[in-house]
Amino acid sequence: MKSVTVFLAVLIALAFCTMAKAEVGSKGIGGALEIALPMGNFGDVAGTGFGVTANFQYGWKPNIDLMGQLGYIKWGGKTAVGYDYSYHAIPIQVGAKYYFKQETNRFYVGGLVGFHMFGWSADYDLLGIHYSGSSSETKFSLAPMGGYEMKIGENMLFDASARYQIISDVSYLGVRAGIIYKLK
């Protein structure tokens, strides 16, 4: 809990340390492909995950964008004799990005907070009888992140980022690459 408090304090401090010129009020929409590497105990039961995310950005302060993300990620299960299982998540998160420079090509740090709607499904055979089952639950999530944006067109940016997604007893490292289209 102490690390969460420190992380939030750093984000708030960054919000008050911005420069004077930027695209305040600018908006952007985008999408990305994501690789999700399960960590900790989750890594013992889940394989590499793949997914997509959609995002919206709003220029709140000169060096700070507010953002929202919605996605879908699917992990395969580790091999088990007679079992076929998988995991999936629908992350719904909001957060902020702090840009180190006012230039078009720039590094950023930020954070996301929200919910992950997790689900799993399993199929297995036992003594010649086929069984299947599934379950789902919603969990609170928090993620520190860092990335890089690069201009690739008049109103288009390439965005690459990584985040460590912390979700109670589940965590994963998300690496994503996508496009942001700046709206007028």
For each of the domains in the chain, give its residue range(s) and CATH number, in order of start.
2-183 (2.40.160.20)
What percent of the chain clears pLDDT 90, i.e. is strictly above it? 61
> For residues 77 and 108, what is the distance between their CA atoms, to the nearest angstrom?
33
> For residues 159 and 179, what is the distance between their CA atoms, to the nearest angstrom?
6
> For residues 14 and 43, what is the distance between their CA atoms, to the nearest angstrom?
33
pLDDT at 13: 42
Per-residue pLDDT reduced to its tens digit, 87-143: 999 999 999 999 998 888 999 999 999 999 999 888 877 787 888 888 899 999 999
Give, in order, the Cα–Cα distances in Å from 39 to each of 10, 24, 26, 73, 161: 25, 37, 36, 15, 18
pLDDT class of 5 with cuts at 50, 70, 90: very low
Per-residue pLDDT reduced to its tens digit, 44-55: 888 999 999 999
Per-residue pLDDT reduced to its tens digit, 170-181: 899 999 999 999
